[in-house]
Amino acid sequence: MANLNIDSVKARTYDAIVIGSGMAGGWAAKELTGKGLKTLVVERGRDVQHIKDYPTTNMMPWEFPHGGALPLDVKEANPVVSRCYAFREDAMHFFVKDAEHPYVQEKPFDWIRGYQVGGKSLMWARQTQRWSSFDFEGPARDGFAVDWPIRYQDVAPWYSYVEKFAGISGHADGLAELPDGEFLPAYPLNAVEDYFRQQVKQKYPGRHVISARCAHLSKPNPVHYEQGRVQCQNRVLCQRGCPFGGYFSSNSTTLPWAQKSGLLTLKPNQVVQSILYDEQQQRATGIRVVDTHTKATTEYYARIVFVNAGALNTNLLLLNSTSHRFPQGLGNDNGLMGKFVGFHNYSARISAEYDGAKDLTTDGRNPAGGGYIPRFRNVFKQETNFLRGYAAGLEAHRGLDHTEHAIGNGFKDSILHPKFGPWTVGSHMMGETIPKETNYVRLDPTRKDEWGMPLLNISVAYDDNDAKMKQDYFDQFSEMFTQAGFTNIKTQDSGQAPGLDIHEMGGVRMGRDPKTSLLNEWNQLHACPNVFVTDGACMTSTSTQNPSLTYMALTARAVDYAVKAAARGGVV
């Protein structure tokens, strides 16, 4: 532009810019517009509007050409995303295909992504547990990573704030290791999950089986109706997008709310290449984006930038935002950006059968999925030969069986009139991993994608602590299942690579000291305080809880701080 048009710059200037429209970005948009800021949200993927853009949501099972299964050519073309449990015929269109967005696996890492408005909030598993004091105090107590600059008390009111709006079902269990929240009624445990709860209560003091807490409207409040959402209808087809708004997503909840303010501009199909830094003002001034279709680049400007691109993409973008002042990436004075990446170890499962409760089954479907067992290892003190611990899911199910080795009339009869089989019980481990400098992401030195972004190299692996923890999970759960009288107990080590947990975190961690962390207690880059990072990239440690609820709370908290500070004419 030889003749820079001042009006054009004005038209591209907002009060705040949010990069990404997923779990965290949706919240940033809602909070910023709610506080009167003219806000631009840029999203690299296509637009997905609530209800209108859920093409499979009301399809019957027989309407899918392959009964829900993946065609072989799709699997072969997409070995990474095909390993994701939710990448099936009904929701394939919400996942990034391997070839579309390549990355470099320095070590095996299944990077599961959803590039669209709403991001992965559309297809997430909707489990929402608060962190506890034990989680925020973990690194300091156990001597890894750096101390979190915040404690549970700092986040608790923001948990309450986001829970009331999002709608979280759960039961007040009164556990220090899993604080209660602002709950809608919990989904009850079924007969065998409840039986196991009682068994554990009797035989294992300090261990608890509770109803999984999830972002479903079991009984909506007025605010949820105001959002245009109604009670969850127990379809459990959530990954397709929910026409009832029964679960929380950016698409159903935060983005439409932000839209109603009249202050939101949402631009899909925009890949952010870099955040612009002004040496004179010593602040970020905006972003440079490339349109995914036209490849045209544009700059947008704002006083406040929220980076919510998704944990690893937030690392990629910041590392790529270089300037004379920040040659290693925006805010990366200490060279630690991209390092100390953590994740959750989901590679262990256990299954069994239960011969009791024969006169009972379930009716309808449970959107919470069943039970949740909060971390019970090394909570109050270090008691094992590994650091930290694991939470676990618990599900019991009564299946219908037909005759196996038969053919003809009798076989058909057994299919038309199946018998109830035994209850099957399953659990999966959700293990905390220790963020380490050797688990990192970095920019590929040579290769770029078609939008001019360097490919992301990912070098993340399990360690010895993970192996010991997994063995403990197998041992403890085998014993607990045996004690409960379950039979046919089978442990299963999936051998899956990191990443398939879809809980990658860190790389731009929070901390008190700019020498050892990138973000301060308000999620501001120490060295560039008008840039906030509130997605998974900010996480100093990983704990065992599903992280989305914490991203929501940290985002709302950071926006509140940013807007107040701006009003004071302060650091932002």
Partner 1 sequence: MNRRTALKTFALVAGAAALLPACSHPPAELPASVPLRHLAVNARQEKTLAEVCETILPKTDTPGAKDLSVHLYVLKMLDDCSSPDEQRAFQAGLGQLDEAAQQRHAQPFLGCSPAQRLALLQGVEQGKGFPSDLVSFYKTAKRLTVSGYTGSKYFLTQQIVYELVPSRYNGYFPIKDVNLSKSHHGQS
Question: CB under 8 Å to 282, separation ≥6 — which residues?
Answer: 325, 528
Tell me how far apart the alpha carbons of residues 335 and 72 are, in angstroms, rounded to a whole number.
43
Please state, in angstroms and rounded to a whole number, the distance separating the CA atoms of residues 20 and 318.
13
Which tokens go with 310? 């998704």
Is there binding between residue 193 and partner 1 (CB under 8 A)? yes
Site for partner 1 in 418-447 (CB under 8 A): 418, 420
Distance CA 439, CA 341 (A): 5
Which residues share a beta bridge with 487? 353
Which of 280, 281, 409, 446 touches partner 1 (CB under 8 A)? 409
Q: How far is the CB of 459 from partner 1 (least distance, A)?
A: 32
- Rounded to 10 deg, the angle between the 548-567 and 152-166 helix axes is 100
359 binds partner 1 (CB under 8 A): yes
CB of 54 to partner 1, least distance (A): 13
Toward partner 1, which CB reaches closer, 185 or 206? 185
Token code pair at residue 449: 């994608």
The nearer residue to partner 1, 49 or 234, going by C-beta atoms, is 234
Which CB atom, from 188 or from 206, has the smaller least distance to partner 1?
188
174: left (phi over 0), alpha (psi -120 to 50) or beta: left
Does 408 help bind partner 1 (rule: CB under 8 A)?
Answer: yes
In whole angstroms, the minimum distance from the beta carbon of 57 to partner 1 comes to 10
Q: How far is the CB of 415 from partner 1 (least distance, A)?
A: 6
Tokens of 283: 């602040």
Query: In angstroms, what is the C-alpha Rg of the chain?
Result: 24
Among 362, 478, 483, 516, binds partner 1 (CB under 8 A): 362
Is residue 424 within a helix (H) or strand (E), and if so which, with residue range? Answer: strand 419-432
State the binding string over 372-401 for partner 1 (x if CB under 8 A, else -): ----------------------------x-
Q: How far is the CB of 344 from partner 1 (least distance, A)?
A: 27
According to CB under 8 A, which one of 366, 439, 465, 534 is a site residue for partner 1?
366
The token duo for 91 is 């929701």
Nearer to partner 1, 239 or 347 (CB): 239
**Beta-sheet strands, E only, within 494-535:** 505-507, 524-525, 528-533
Structure token pair of residue 151: 């404690």
The burial of 241, by beta-carbon neighbours within 10 Å (0-12 exposed, 13-18 middle, 19 or more buried), is given as buried
- Binding part of the chain for partner 1, among 150-158, 234-242, 295-303, 542-550 by CB under 8 A, reads 234-242
- H-assigned helices in 144-277: 152-166, 191-203, 222-226, 255-260
Applying CB under 8 A, which of residues 203, 412, 448, 515 lies at the interface with partner 1?
412
Q: Which residues of 135-166 are buried (b: 16+ CB within 10 A; e: fewer)?
A: bbebbeeeebbbbbbbebebbbebbebbbbbb
Minimum gap (Å) between residue 271 Cβ and partner 1? 33
Q: Pick from 122, 189, 209, 425 the residue near partner 1 by CB under 8 A.
A: 189
Binding test (CB under 8 A) with partner 1, winner from 233, 265, 292, 297: 233
- Restricting to residues 51-70, which ones interact with partner 1 according to CB under 8 A? 58, 60-62, 65-67, 69-70
Q: Quick one: 415 or 567, whose CB is closer to partner 1? A: 415
**Binding of partner 1 by 194 (CB under 8 A):** yes
Smallest separation, CB 479 to partner 1 (Å)? 25
- Closest separation in Å from C-beta 47 to partner 1: 26
Check binding of 99 to partner 1 (CB under 8 A): no
Pick 362 or 483: Cβ nearer partner 1: 362
- 424 pairs with which residues across the strands? 353, 397
Is residue 6 close enough to count as binding partner 1 by CB under 8 A? no
Question: Residue 436 has what DSSP assignment?
Answer: B
Which stretch in 153-161, 270-278, 402-410, 432-440 sits in contact with partner 1 by CB under 8 A? 402-410
19-58 in b/e form (b: 16+ CB < 10 A) is bbbbbbbbbbbbbbbbbebbbbbbbbbebbebeebbebbe
Interface residues toward partner 1, by CB under 8 A: 58, 60-62, 65-67, 69-73, 187-191, 193-194, 231, 233-235, 237, 358-367, 400, 402, 405-409, 411-413, 415-418, 420
